[in-house]
Structure 1
Amino acid sequence: MDVKKNGDVSFWYADIGGVPGYRPPLPGDIEVDVCIVGAGFTGLWTAYYLKEAEPGLSIAVVEKEFAGFGASGRNGGWCSGEFGWSREKYLSSGTREGIIEWERQLRSTVAEVRRVTEKEGIDCDYLLTDCLTYAQSPAQMERLREGYEEAMAWQVPTSRLELIDGPEAAARIRVDKAQGALVRHDVARVQPAKLVRGLAEAVERRGVAIYERTAVTGIEKGRVTTDRGSVKAKRIVRATEGFTHGIPGNEREWIPMNSAIIVTEPVPDDLWREIGWQGSQLLADASHAYCYAQRTREGRIAMGGRGVPYRFGSKTDVRGQTQPETIQALKDILYRMLPQTRGLKLDHAWCGVLGVPRDWCATVGLDPRTGIGWAGGYVGLGVSTSNFSGQTLADLVLDRHTERTSLPWVNRRPRKWEVEPFRWLGVHGMYWLYHKADRNEASTGGRATSRLATLANALTGR
Structure 2
Amino acid sequence: MGCALNPHADPHWERLSLWHDTVDTDWTPRPGLTGDVDADVAIVGAGLTGLWTAYYLAEADPNLRIVVLEAETAGFGASGRNGGWCSALFPASLETLAELADRDGALAQHRAMRDTVDEVVAVAAAEGIDAHIAKGGTISLARSRAQWRRAKAEVAEARRWGRDEDDVRLLDRDEATAVLRGSRTVGATYTPDCAALHPARLVRGLADVVERRGVTIHERTRVRAIAPGRAHTADGDVRAATVVRATEGYTAGLRGEERTLVPVYSLIIATEPLSPATWEEIGLARRETFTDHRHLIVYGQRTADDRLVFGGRGAPYHLGSRIRPEFDRDDAVFARLYATLVDLFPVLSGTRVTHAWGGALGIPRDWCASVGLDRETGLAWAGGYVGDGVSTTNLAGRTLRDLVLGQDTDLTRLPWVGHRSPAWEPEPLRWLGINAGLRAMTLADAEESVTRLPSVLAKAVKPLLG
Answering whether residue 98 of structure 2 is matched by residue 83 of structure 1, we say no
**Partner Cα separation in structure 1 for residue 353 and residue 82 of structure 2:** 17
Q: Offset of 1:409 from its aligned partner?
A: 0.5
The aligned runs of 1:35-434 (5 Å cut-off) are 35-318=42-325, 321-434=328-441
| 2:356 match: secondary structure | strand
Unaligned runs of 5+ in 2: none
Report the residue type matching 1:124 in the other structure: A
Report how far residue 332 of structure 1 moved. 1.5
Provide TM-score, normalisation by structure 1: 0.97
8 Å Cα contact 2:437/2:465 also seen in 1: no
Residue of structure 2 equivalent to 1:456: 461
In the alignment, is the contact (CA less than 8 A) between 1:72 and 1:193 conserved in 2?
Answer: yes
Higher mean C-alpha deviation, range 449-458 or range 238-247: 449-458
Tell me, in whole angstroms, the C-alpha distance in 1 between the residues paired with 2:374 and 2:427: 28
Which AA in structure 2 matches 1:191? H
Distance in 2, Cα, partners of 1:330 & 1:33: 45
Aligned partners of 2:18 and 2:465: how far apart in 1?
Answer: 33
Q: Using the TM superposition, give the Cα deviation of residue 84 of structure 1 relative to its aligned residue in structure 2, in angstroms.
A: 3.7
Count of matched residue pairs = 459
Q: Secondary structure at the match of 2:304?
A: coil
Name stretches of at least 5 consecutive residues in structure 1 with no aligned partner: none
Assess if the C-alpha contact under 8 Å between 1:357 and 1:414 holds in 2.
yes
TM-score w.r.t. the length of structure 2 is 0.96
Query: CA distance change for structure 1 residues 281 and 320 in 2, over 3 Å: closer, same or farther?
Result: farther
Of 186-195 and 274-283, deviating more is 274-283
- TM-fit CA distance, 1:19: 7.4
Give distance in 1, aligned partners of 2:387 and 2:158.
19
> 47-56 vs 267-276, which deviates more?
267-276
Separation (CA, whole Å) in 1 of partners of 2:319 and 2:201: 32
Whichever residue aligns with residue 286 of structure 2, its letter is G
Distance 2:260 2:284 in 1: 40
My pick for the range that moved more, 264-273 or 5-14, is 5-14
Match of 2:37 among 10, 19, 30: 30
Q: Shift of residue 290 of structure 1?
A: 1.7
Q: Give 2:459's aligned amino acid.
A: T
For residue 127 of structure 1, what is the amino acid of its counterpart? A
The answer on whether the counterparts of 2:296 and 2:314 sit within 8 Å (CA) in structure 1 is: no
Per-residue deviation, residues 340-364 of structure 1 (Å, max 9, x unmatched):
1112010000000111000011100
Cα contact 1:261–1:349 (8 A) shared by 2: yes
Instruction: Please tell me the residue identity of whatever aligns with 2:375.
Output: P
Contact 2:180 2:283 in 1 (8 A): yes
SS at match of 2:141: strand
Distance 2:287 2:42 in 1: 38
**Structure-2 change in CA distance of 1:187 and 1:439 (3 Å):** same
Matched residue SS, 1:385: helix
Q: Secondary structure at the match of 1:108?
A: helix
**Does the C-alpha gap of structure 1 residues 297 and 21 become closer, same or farther in structure 2, counting only changes over 3 Å?**
same
Q: Residues of 1 paired with 2:329 and 2:168: CA distance?
A: 34
Contact 2:91–2:369 (CA<8 Å) still a contact in 1? no
Work out whether residues 80 and 188 of structure 1, in 8 Å CA contact, stay in contact via their aligned partners in 2: yes
Per the TM alignment, residue 18 of structure 1 is displaced from its structure 2 partner at its CA by 7.8
Match for residue 435 of structure 1?
442
Amino acid in structure 2 at the alignment position of 1:226: T
Q: 2 CA distance for matches of 1:133 and 1:277?
A: 12
Paired residue secondary structure (1:292) = strand
Amino acid of the structure 2 residue aligned with 1:450: S
Match 1:6 to one of 10, 13, 21: 13
- Whether the 8 Å CA contact 2:272–2:352 is kept in 1: the answer is yes
